[in-house]
Structure 1
Amino acid sequence: MTARGEADRPEARRPRAPDVSRAGLERAALGYLERFDSSVANLRRVLRERVRRARQRSADPIDTETPKREIETLLARYQESGLLNDRRFGSNLLSGLRRRGVSTRAARLKLLSKGVPEDLVSDLLSVEAEETSGDSEFEAALAYVKKRRLGHYRRATSSAEATAEGDWQEPGRLPPKKAGFGRAKHPEAARRDKDLAALARRGFSFDVARRALDTPRED
């Protein structure tokens, strides 16, 4: 059989099974934590996925219960040493989400998806609300307004754009009618509706969205 024929055999193409020994799991865990912070549950998922791939790729049956026990031992040791800390991870993630303009509802879902326990998520949001006097949702909405240049942060409309929107904006002139829909909205009102809808899709309430859009621009 030629070398090419040997390479074409199914066993030759099989990806190498990950090392799920104690040392292999430790290397994988530390390698992951060097790149990312993590919750306990998230790192457990990562390592169990490694075990699943090992079982799938191994030419011979492998014991998966021993690696799973090793994973729990690792997680317990990392929590004791402080390498893993769900509160720290959740607090840092929440702060980052808020800076990016993420609403409370969306932040809660993100934290849960990253393995932060539900009771801890509720506690982190309560602490945040106390520290910001309940303004964390507004601050996040305002951050999103600035990031996406909505409301007062939208760039000035050029004369060409104003013409494209319609010269009916001149004083004393009425907007043209759209067939079957009555009069068209003033472009400024249409833009505001669009901005409100964008904030609503991000999970912000109407009152918070309106307040963020009405906040004067900081030069």
Structure 2
Amino acid sequence: MLFNLFSIFDPATSLNHWFELNWIFMIFIPLLMPYSFWFKKNKFFIFINLFLMFLFKEMNNLLKTKNYNNINFFLMIFFIILTFNFLGLFPYIFNPTSHLVITLTLSLPIWLGIMFYGWFNFYKHMLSHLIPLGTPSILMPFMVMIETISNIIRPSTLAIRLSANMVAGHLLLCLLGSTEENIINNYILFILLIIQMLLLTLEISVSIIQSYVFMTLSSLYSNEI
């Protein structure tokens, strides 16, 4: 049962062992947009534009910078994760953010870039972050060790938080969907269907929230420099 349950996250649709078809859709995401999104200012385009302006203001307040390239980078990360999360809710579409290989691919380069840039350019500022202000002298070695460990595990926490939330929601939906096959009573079946629709709505919210959390935490890490 456990193997069959977690097999929904296995990219098993393939032509051979070395060519997994479920990973291909990630490079075709721009093709999923209608042509009117690229050529016309319709209602969908206006909604996306308003949403982008809201996120842009939030990121500008967090980063407190006039370098718009940094803001655009984190906005791009947000929309990549949001697209992966949202498309994974559709039937027969593989959810890549449920795998640590994808989430670590997103979080680890961001963290490494921030660390290399900070230590090579502002090493004194980075060293000052290892010891909080007002720390007693006897506790300084322990605080350096604790701050170093907490800094090292940041990409792992970003990746695990995103993948764990995606896996948990999909497992709940899968469990409810598998129990509906054995239920004969129509009233219980109707209640389970309502619960599943509510869970699907919750998963859509979680997809947006987790994308925003990933973007916000990454920007806060870069803001420390």
Higher helix share: 2
Larger Rg: 1
| TM-score (ref. length: structure 2) | 0.26
Using structure 1 for the length normalisation, give the TM-score: 0.27
The structure showing larger relative contact order (alpha-carbon pairs under 8 Å, at least 6 residues apart) is 2
